[in-house]
């Protein structure tokens, strides 16, 4: 998709500037003067409290202040990336559903009107205003659909298709691998957490590191997508001492159109919660079944870890101070597994089940040895328990669907999907509001779009949106960093 040019001041605003002792961390006068001439003085002042920089495939964005201010900073400074990601999302939606994007935007507006809290709406309005100031057209309604695309496409749309007597096959994919460990499972007894995002290479532009300092609530450092006010991947730490991630509950079917969208609940929980119990209570309030996840959480103050499996009809919650929780897209609670999913947890041909078995093997083997470095190795694991061999395909923790010749279930050979990142954090890093991340495959294998499309022309519909994913190193990010 063609990317519109935005004001050249975006680049200037992204330049790092040194913070002298006692300084207010504003950019120097020369940079302030170069901020977009079309901006109003209040808009320029808002932008001077934000900044972005790029590092090893990631884009770090710091935003702060009132909701509308944070949104404006986000929309303006990430305008090129938001426009690119919106284009890819529209393209994939149209191809996979056969329906037009404006139709979906209208449906999302009608369904969620009055169900998103005022602060989230104000931030979305700010994003739209920031985009407009940068020369990119969008609206609150479109950004709501864009933020909720996971639950709209994979949870609401299958039900909507059934109303038209079309196939209602659920599109929930087997994706993401994660763990959280504490106590005797880790070196030193503190919490260690890791997560891989797995998904299609065409529209997983989740290379944003968001440092959010809200006017009220807790500071958040999380991975996200350009233009999303939530995470979506999900991987976050907060200054309340909380850390969290998730894996989707695979084979899940169920959606309540009268509920609150998941993206709004996730943002409220992460910004407002002071404890694991608070976080889970907010997530359960108005649960619509959209983006049904097994959430893995940690509290560095108490060394407790927890797992919240949030189905639509059933909820499971467990908390402990010693041991491990793993996630691979298989529900652990038997009620959710049997009554709300279609997964056979013994079929190791399936990626989710194979990865679940592999996590259990690795956690037993490395009990008491888990630290950051081992976590990185586990995220990059290529053992396939179905083949009983090292094989970088769809079933390994570091997944490579583009290399898989014999996929299981509804997947197709050589699907351009798999692990698109890796993140790890321990209690010491979380106390400093930092974590380590790697963009691209967790093992460092590069993906080259042109070569792939030439070898697999059946995916030529992705021409123009499928991007290269070069090998990148592990990188540490911290809240408040300037470069």
Domains of the chain, each with CATH number or no CATH:
9-53+65-163 (1.10.439), 177-478 (3.60.60.20)
**Rounded distance, CA 438 to CA 174, Å?**
21
Residue 7 tokens read as: 């004001």
| pLDDT of 252 | 94
**Rounded distance, CA 61 to CA 481, Å?**
10
Asked if 223 contacts 206 with a C-beta cutoff of 8 angstroms, the reply is yes
Q: Which pTM value belongs to this model? A: 0.91
Residue 264 tokens read as: 């709004």
| pLDDT of 332 | 97
Q: What is the DSSP string of 247-281?
A: EE-TTB----TTSB-HHHHHHHHHHH-SSHHHHHH
Which residue from 154, 113, 94 is spatially nearest to 329, judged by alpha carbons? 154
166, with CB counted inside 10 A (0-12, 13-18, 19+), is exposed
| pLDDT of 409 | 85
| List of E strands, 107-260 | 177-182, 192-196, 198-200, 208-214, 220-224, 235-238, 242-248
| pLDDT of 249 | 96
| List of E strands, 302-359 | 304-310, 315-320, 323-327
| pLDDT of 37 | 53
| pLDDT of 173 | 60
Asked if 190 contacts 182 with a C-beta cutoff of 8 angstroms, the reply is yes
**Rounded distance, CA 267 to CA 71, Å?**
13
Residue 418, classed as helix, strand or coil, is strand
Residue numbers in the chain where pLDDT is lower than 50:
1-36, 165-170
CB atoms within 10 A of CB 164: 8
Q: What is the DSSP string of 424-461?
A: EEEHHHHHTTEEEEEES-TT---B-HHHHHHH-GGGGG
Half-sphere exposure of 226 (CA within 13 A, CB side): 25
| pLDDT of 389 | 98
Asked if 61 contacts 224 with a C-beta cutoff of 8 angstroms, the reply is no
* 12, 200, 333, 417 from 330: Cα distances, Å: 46, 19, 9, 19
């Amino acid at each position: 998709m063609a990317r519109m040019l935005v004001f050249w001041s975006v680049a200037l605003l992204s330049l790092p500037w040194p913070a002298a002792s006692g300084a207010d961390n504003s950019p120097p006068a020369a940079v302030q003067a170069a901020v977009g001439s079309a901006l109003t003085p209040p808009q320029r002042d808002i932008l001077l409290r934000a900044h972005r920089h790029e590092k090893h495939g990631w884009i770090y964005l710091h935003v702060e202040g009132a909701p509308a201010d944070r949104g404006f900073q986000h929309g303006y400074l990430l305008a090129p990336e938001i426009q690119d990601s919106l284009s890819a999302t529209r393209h994939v939606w149209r191809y996979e559903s056969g329906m037009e994007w404006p139709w979906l935007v209208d449906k999302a507006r009608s369904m969620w009107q009055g169900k998103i809290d005022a602060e989230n709406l104000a931030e979305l309005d700010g994003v739209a205003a920031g985009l407009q100031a940068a020369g990119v057209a969008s609206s609150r309604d479109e950004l709501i659909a864009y933020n909720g695309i996971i639950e709209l496409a994979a949870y609401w749309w299958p039900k909507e298709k059934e109303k038209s007597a079309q196939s209602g096959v659920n599109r929930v994919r087997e994706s993401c691998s994660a763990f959280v460990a504490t106590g005797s499972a880790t070196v030193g007894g503190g919490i260690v957490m890791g997560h891989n995002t797995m998904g299609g290479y065409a529209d997983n532009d989740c290379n944003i590191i968001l440092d959010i300092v809200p006017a009220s609530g807790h500071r958040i450092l999380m991975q996200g997508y350009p233009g999303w006010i939530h995470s979506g991947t999900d991987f976050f730490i907060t200054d309340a001492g909380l850390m969290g991630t998730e894996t989707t509950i695979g084979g899940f079917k169920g959606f309540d159109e009268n509920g609150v969208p998941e993206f709004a609940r996730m943002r409220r929980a992460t910004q407002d919660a002071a404890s694991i119990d608070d976080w889970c209570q907010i997530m359960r309030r108005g649960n619509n079944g959209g983006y049904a996840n097994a959430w893995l959480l940690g509290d560095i103050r108490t060394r407790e870890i927890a797992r919240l499996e949030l189905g639509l009809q059933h909820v499971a919650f467990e908390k402990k101070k010693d041991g491990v929780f793993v996630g691979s897209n298989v529900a652990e609670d038997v009620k959710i597994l049997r009554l709300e999913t279609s997964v056979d947890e013994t079929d190791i041909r399936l990626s989710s089940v194979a990865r679940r078995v592999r996590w259990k093997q690795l956690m037993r083997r490395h009990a008491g040895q888990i630290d950051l470095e081992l976590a990185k190795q586990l995220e990059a694991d290529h053992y396939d328990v179905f083949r009983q061999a090292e094989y970088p395909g769809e079933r390994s923790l570091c997944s490579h669907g583009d290399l898989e010749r014999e996929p299981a279930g509804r997947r197709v050979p050589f699907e351009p999907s798999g692990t698109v990142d890796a993140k790890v954090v321990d209690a010491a890093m979380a106390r400093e509001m930092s974590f380590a991340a790697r963009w691209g495959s967790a093992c460092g294998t590069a993906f080259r779009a042109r070569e792939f499309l030439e070898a697999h022309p059946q995916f030529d519909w992705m021409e123009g949106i499928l991007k290269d994913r070069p090998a990148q190193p592990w990188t540490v990010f911290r809240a408040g960093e300037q470069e």
